[in-house]
Amino acid sequence: MALRPIDNALPISPDNPRLKKHAKVSIQTQKRAPEVGLNDENKAPLPQPVDASVDYMASENLEPFEDPESNIQSLVEGLDSKDWVTVCGSLNFVRRFAIYHSGLLLPVLEKVMLVIVKAMKNPRSALCKTSIMAASDIFDALGEKLLDSSAFDQLLLQLLLKASQDKKFVCEEANKSLTALVNSIAPLPLLNQLHGFVNHGNLRVRAKAAVSISNSVSKMGSEEIGEFGLVSLLQMASDLLNDRLPEAREAARSIVFSVHNAFTENEKSNPRAAWQSFCETNLSTIQAQSMLKVLSSSSQ
């Protein structure tokens, strides 16, 4: 069954009365811009058609399918399309399935995740943003089930990269998606996925990873923090305190407070001395002093 364009991924056409006034400029632009394939992320972007051909529908405005079982095959076919508008439409199908019929996505989840990752790499902003919105709806619907996907690490990296870029409307959408991720997956398993990215060579990726880690740690109790590792979090925060970006340093301070609270929870006699000893045992002298300054500055 061929995939029908849906309301939030309408090709511009002079026959479409809703978009007629835009038809002339859109068609002329498309003639100047050859199709950009999904694998072109490492090439210099070509001039692109205007993004007016895609509407970005809010999740609450998407509707369920009347017959979702019969539409799942159309979804798979559309995701394989070479036409970017068709892929956008299919990604919006993914969003509708995620919100209303998430169980039907599970058998094709791996394929869906790979297409989302590939679309995020695409230089065409409309396709990239639509894929990020699809990721957010999948996070909300499936949560920790996504951790079983072999593409999850790739998806996480792409979100961190997109949240780090200069194109504002893509960057904002990626930040929303990272927030949805933190809110939909339990802190401990998500932390196990995120912690490696604080050593990424891209300082912006490090900062975005640090923020997501900080948000996850702030939701953890002392037992969960202890299960992940107080020392590991302490050393991670210590490294981030010296990062070049203020965003990473602020996230590090938040992690320090969480670790401190978890550590001193059962230290009734002299928690300050116990915390100082803990820092000096597991960090260099300079790093330990930095940790103590974080807490002392907050109490002033």
Above 90 in pLDDT, residue 179?
yes
Residue type, 28: Q
Give the confidence band of 260 by pLDDT, cuts at 50, 70, 90: very high
Q: Structure tokens of 292?
A: 């103590």
- Residues 224 and 269 placed together within one structural domain of the fold: yes
- Residues 158 and 71 placed together within one structural domain of the fold: yes
pLDDT at residue 266, rounded to an integer: 83
Residue type, 46: L
- Side-chain-side CA neighbours of 207 within 13 Å: the count stands at 17
Mean pLDDT of 286-292: 93
Mean pLDDT of 117-128: 95
- Residues 247 and 176 placed together within one structural domain of the fold: no
- Residues 20 and 163 placed together within one structural domain of the fold: yes
- Residues 152 and 229 placed together within one structural domain of the fold: no
Above 50 in pLDDT, residue 45?
no
- Residues 81 and 221 placed together within one structural domain of the fold: no
269 contact partners, CB below 8 Å, separation of at least 6: none
- The reply to whether 193 falls in a domain is no
Q: Are 62 and 102 in contact (CB under 8 A)?
A: no
- Please give the tally of structural domains in the chain: 2
Between CA 280 and CA 149 the distance in angstroms is 40
pLDDT at residue 268, rounded to an integer: 81
pLDDT at residue 11, rounded to an integer: 42
Between CA 206 and CA 295 the distance in angstroms is 23
- Residues 24 and 173 placed together within one structural domain of the fold: yes
Q: Are 45 and 93 in contact (CB under 8 A)?
A: no
- The reply to whether 282 falls in a domain is yes
- Residues 17 and 141 placed together within one structural domain of the fold: yes
The mean of the pLDDT values for the chain is: 84
pLDDT at residue 230, rounded to an integer: 96
Give the confidence band of 53 by pLDDT, cuts at 50, 70, 90: low
Between CA 183 and CA 191 the distance in angstroms is 12
Q: Tell me the pTM.
A: 0.79
- Residues 50 and 180 placed together within one structural domain of the fold: yes
Which domain CATH number covers 126? 1.25.10
- Residues 239 and 157 placed together within one structural domain of the fold: no
Lowest mean pLDDT across 49-53, 74-78, 238-242: 49-53
DSSP string, 198-251: GG-SSHHHHHHHHHHHHHHHTT--HHHHHHH-HHHHHHHHHHHTT-SSHHHHHH
Domain that includes residue 232, residue range: 216-300
pLDDT tens digits, 126-175:
999 999 999 999 999 999 999 989 999 999 999 999 999 888 999 999 99
pLDDT tens digits, 273-288:
999 999 999 999 999 9
